[in-house]
């Protein structure tokens, strides 16, 4: 017991010193590049991702076209990912915007859309950097000027989401707003001043082309993958910088907390602890920062340590423990000054740890199971299950597995079974989306799922059904005659399987659209 308390005390002390260093480092200001005569204007490709963002994307494109940045030094690339709001009509004939509309396929997601652009432009030598933006944001007229200034210092830079408040903000909206101010004005800023990496934020991100060419890919599927990508950048000595002057604006209701899950953080910590490097302080700090305690854990830990020190004289003197608590409280007060939030917003910030705790409890597996039993016990469920045998490949060998395709209460989910291991998807409206989640999960581990849906010879058949499981096989088998139609479904497979190349698929769609215009 005494050894455990010692370890907890050591953990709390190290974090207190680290937190105090952040608090007092935030008093310093980043040096600004004032030498306008020697300023280099980078050639930028501004990539905007939109998925049914008709209400905001038009205004964002107008703001990007009216930047103070030299127009000859940037291009605007708009990706419309399976949009059903007809927003592509707004940009017809607009010569200042390169519009790429992805239709007749499932929504591919932001990271895959960005990867398409970076691969298509990989051979352009005059391109210096990419600026990735989500279409839900707005920007100032000097947005690209600020990005360009930051690229003088950092190879990868992220900006500060600024929330637009409304008159009728809920309790959750106020917590979001206060936490966002605290994160931008203190945490992210202090980490950048000390030379530490900030979490990659794919909503607003600028990256030099050379970095993408070196790391070879983009992975922004979710916040957990963004954290993993940040670690990959840090591992090659690339720091993700932060500039609070690079502001993007959105409604408070659309703000995402962007906080990696606890299990993912601890998993990445144990995965990378053996990879620590003596010559890469940024990487080492990032790995140890994965196990930071939240405010409630810190308070509870200090309570047990102080109580133990008070009752057992052989332990560390409780005055020393009290001094550590005092240092943390002083550092926290300093951090509140840097956060620049009003007194009323302090209360909402103090509520954030309780919100985070409630969210963890709400999603805790036993609680989730009980919640489903209570709220779904009275529902009439219609359940249909189909089991299919499939193969996954690591590029060298094939492994037999099974997929349980389950349709329940108008939702679809898929259970992937490999020996005794199982992975269950979230509930989706369509079966094809559930299978896509499985395939993306396997791709993150270096495996490919051998199914028609994942094959480059598969063509989806839009028959009006919800699940969209029907399609056609376009492989030129020897016994096929010209004009033959070979129907199939998404979970079928054959020996002619070849993994789909999203870029080639996109090129084919673009070529088809160009032919239709002519």
pLDDT attached to residue 467:
64
For residue 188, give the nearest of 220, 160, 227, 228 by alpha carbon. 160
Task: Say whether pLDDT at 503 is over 80.
Answer: no
Give the three-class secondary structure for 449: strand
Kindly give, in sequence order, each residue whose CB lies less than 8 Å from that of residue 417, ignoring residues fewer than 6 positions away: 401, 402, 403, 404
pLDDT attached to residue 129:
94
pLDDT attached to residue 377:
47
pLDDT attached to residue 131:
95
Tokens of 71: 């127009």
- Spatial distance between the Cα atoms of 355 and 103, rounded to a whole number of angstroms: 39
User: Is 438 in contact with 422 (CB distance < 8 Å)?
Assistant: no
For residue 472, give the nearest of 481, 482, 484 by alpha carbon. 484
DSSP string, 187-233: IIHHHHHTTPPPPP-TTEEEEEHHHHHHH-----SSHHHHHHHHHHH
For residue 119, give the nearest of 209, 51, 195 by alpha carbon. 209
Tens digit of pLDDT for each residue in 137-191? 999 999 999 999 999 989 999 999 998 887 788 899 999 999 999 999 999 999 9
**The residue to which tokens 């129907």 are assigned:** 487
Q: Which of 167-171, 351-355, 390-394, 512-516 has the lowest mean pLDDT?
A: 512-516
Q: 79 - beta bridge partners?
A: 49, 100
Task: Say whether pLDDT at 508 is over 60.
Answer: no
Q: pLDDT grade, residue 307 (50/70/90)?
A: confident
Question: CA dist 123 to 119, 127, 150, 246, Å?
Answer: 8, 9, 24, 28
User: Is 426 in contact with 420 (CB distance < 8 Å)?
Assistant: no
158 or 490, which is more confident: 158
Give the three-class secondary structure for 120: helix
Q: Tell me the pairing of strands 129-134 and 44-50.
A: parallel
- Spatial distance between the Cα atoms of 453 and 284, rounded to a whole number of angstroms: 41
E strands along 342-464, which residues? Answer: 383-393, 398-408, 411-418, 421-424, 448-450, 458-460
Kindly give, in sequence order, each residue whose CB lies less than 8 Å from that of residue 183, ignoring residues fewer than 6 positions away: none
pLDDT attached to residue 115:
86
pLDDT attached to residue 513:
52
pLDDT attached to residue 491:
84
**Dihedral (CA of 191, 193, 198, 204) sign:** positive
For residue 281, give the H/E element and its range. helix 281-288
**Dihedral (CA of 251, 254, 258, 259) sign:** positive
In the predicted model, what is the mean pLDDT of the chain?
84
pLDDT attached to residue 14:
93
Q: pLDDT grade, residue 55 (50/70/90)?
A: confident
- Spatial distance between the Cα atoms of 139 and 6, rounded to a whole number of angstroms: 50
Span 302-320, mean pLDDT? 81
Q: pLDDT grade, residue 388 (50/70/90)?
A: confident
Q: pLDDT grade, residue 378 (50/70/90)?
A: very low
- Spatial distance between the Cα atoms of 438 and 424, rounded to a whole number of angstroms: 8
455 or 30, which is more confident: 455
User: Is 405 in contact with 490 (CB distance < 8 Å)?
Assistant: no
Tens digit of pLDDT for each residue in 265-306? 999 999 999 999 888 999 999 999 999 888 888 888 888 888
Tell me the Ramachandran region of residue 150: left when phi exceeds 0, alpha when psi lies from -120 to 50, beta otherwise.
alpha
pLDDT attached to residue 517:
53
pLDDT attached to residue 356:
82
- Spatial distance between the Cα atoms of 496 and 395, rounded to a whole number of angstroms: 15
Task: Say whether pLDDT at 448 is over 70.
Answer: yes
Give this prediction's pTM: 0.71
Tell me the Ramachandran region of residue 174: left when phi exceeds 0, alpha when psi lies from -120 to 50, beta otherwise.
alpha
Tens digit of pLDDT for each residue in 73-107? 999 999 988 787 778 788 887 888 898 888 766 67
pLDDT attached to residue 157:
95
User: Is 413 in contact with 424 (CB distance < 8 Å)?
Assistant: yes
Highest average pLDDT, of 40-49, 257-266, 468-477, comes from 40-49
Q: Which of 84-88, 233-237, 381-385, 406-410 has the lowest mean pLDDT?
A: 381-385
Question: CA dist 6 to 15, 304, 311, 319, 322, Å?
Answer: 14, 11, 14, 15, 15
- Spatial distance between the Cα atoms of 208 and 57, rounded to a whole number of angstroms: 24
Task: Say whether pLDDT at 36 is over 60.
Answer: no
User: What's the per-residue H, E or C state across 411-428?
Assistant: EEEEEEEECCEEEECCCE
pLDDT attached to residue 287:
94
**The residue to which tokens 């302090």 are assigned:** 346
Q: If you ran DSSP here, which 8-state letter would residue 87 be given? A: G
**The residue to which tokens 């994942």 are assigned:** 454
pLDDT attached to residue 45:
94
User: What's the per-residue H, E or C state across 232-268?
Assistant: HHHHCCCCEEEEEEEEEEEEHHHCCCCCCCHHHHHHH
Percent of the chain with pLDDT over 70: 89
For residue 144, give the nearest of 242, 73, 210, 199 by alpha carbon. 73
Taking the CB of residue 113, how many other CB atoms lie within 10 A of it?
27
Alpha helices in 26-109 (DSSP H): 54-65
Q: Which of 85-94, 103-112, 459-468, 480-489 has the lowest mean pLDDT?
A: 459-468
CA torsion angle for 310, 312, 314, 317 (degrees, to 10)? -10
Q: Compute the radius of gyration of the chain from its Cα atoms.
A: 26
pLDDT attached to residue 444:
78
Kindly give, in sequence order, each residue whose CB lies less than 8 Å from that of residue 138, ignoring residues fewer than 6 positions away: 56, 59, 60, 63, 248, 249, 250
Task: Say whether pLDDT at 379 is over 60.
Answer: no
Kindly give, in sequence order, each residue whose CB lies less than 8 Å from that of residue 259, ignoring residues fewer than 6 positions away: 223, 356
């Amino acid at each position: 017991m005494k050894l455990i308390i010692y370890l907890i005390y050591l953990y709390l002390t190290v974090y207190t010193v680290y937190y105090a260093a952040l608090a007092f480092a935030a008093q310093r200001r980043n040096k600004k590049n004032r030498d306008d005569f020697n300023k280099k204007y980078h050639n930028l490709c501004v990539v905007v991702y939109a998925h049914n963002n008709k209400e905001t994307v038009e205004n964002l494109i107008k703001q990007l076209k009216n930047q103070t940045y030299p127009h000859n030094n940037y291009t605007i690339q708009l990706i419309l990912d399976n949009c059903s709001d007809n927003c592509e009509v707004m940009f017809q004939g607009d010569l200042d915007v390169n519009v790429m509309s992805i239709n007749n396929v499932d929504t591919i997601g932001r990271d895959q859309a960005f990867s398409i652009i970076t691969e298509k432009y990989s051979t352009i030598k005059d391109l210096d950097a990419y600026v990735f933006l989500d279409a839900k944001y707005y920007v100032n007229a000097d947005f690209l000027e600020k990005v360009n200034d930051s690229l003088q210092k950092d190879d990868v830079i992220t900006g500060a989401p600024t929330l637009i408040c409304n008159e009728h903000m809920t309790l959750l909206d106020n917590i979001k707003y206060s936490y966002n101010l605290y994160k931008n004005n203190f945490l992210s800023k202090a980490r950048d001043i000390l030379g530490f990496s900030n979490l990659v934020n794919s909503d607003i991100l600028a990256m030099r082309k050379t970095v993408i060419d070196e790391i070879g890919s983009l992975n922004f599927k979710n916040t957990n993958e963004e954290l993993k990508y940040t670690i990959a950048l840090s591992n090659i000595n690339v720091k993700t910088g932060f500039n609070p002057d690079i502001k993007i604006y959105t409604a408070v209701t659309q703000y995402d907390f962007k906080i990696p899950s606890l299990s993912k953080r601890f998993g990445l910590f144990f995965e990378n602890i053996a990879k620590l490097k003596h010559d890469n302080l940024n990487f080492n700090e990032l790995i140890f920062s994965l196990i930071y305690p939240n405010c409630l854990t810190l308070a509870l830990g200090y309570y047990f340590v102080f109580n133990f020190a008070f009752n057992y004289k052989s332990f560390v003197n409780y005055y020393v423990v009290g001094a550590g608590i005092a240092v943390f409280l002083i550092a926290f007060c300093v951090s509140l000054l840097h956060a620049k939030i009003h007194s009323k917003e302090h209360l909402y910030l103090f509520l954030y740890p309780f919100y985070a705790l409630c969210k963890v409890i709400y999603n805790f597996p036993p609680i989730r199971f009980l919640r489903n039993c209570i709220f779904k016990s009275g529902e009439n469920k219609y359940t249909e299950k189909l089991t299919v045998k499939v193969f996954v490949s690591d590029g060298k060998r094939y492994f037999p597995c099974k997929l349980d395709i389950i349709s329940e209460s108008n939702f679809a989910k898929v259970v992937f079974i490999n020996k005794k291991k199982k992975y269950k998807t979230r509930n989706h409206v369509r079966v094809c989306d559930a299978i896509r989640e499985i395939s993306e999960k396997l791709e993150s581990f270096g495996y490919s799922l051998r199914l028609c849906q994942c094959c480059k010879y598969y063509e989806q058949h839009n028959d009006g059904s919800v699940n969209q499981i029907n399609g056609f096989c376009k492989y030129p088998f020897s016994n096929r005659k010209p004009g033959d139609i070979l129907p199939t479904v998404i979970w079928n497979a054959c020996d002619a399987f070849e993994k789909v190349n999203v870029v080639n698929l996109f090129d084919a769609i673009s070529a088809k659209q160009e032919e239709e215009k002519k």
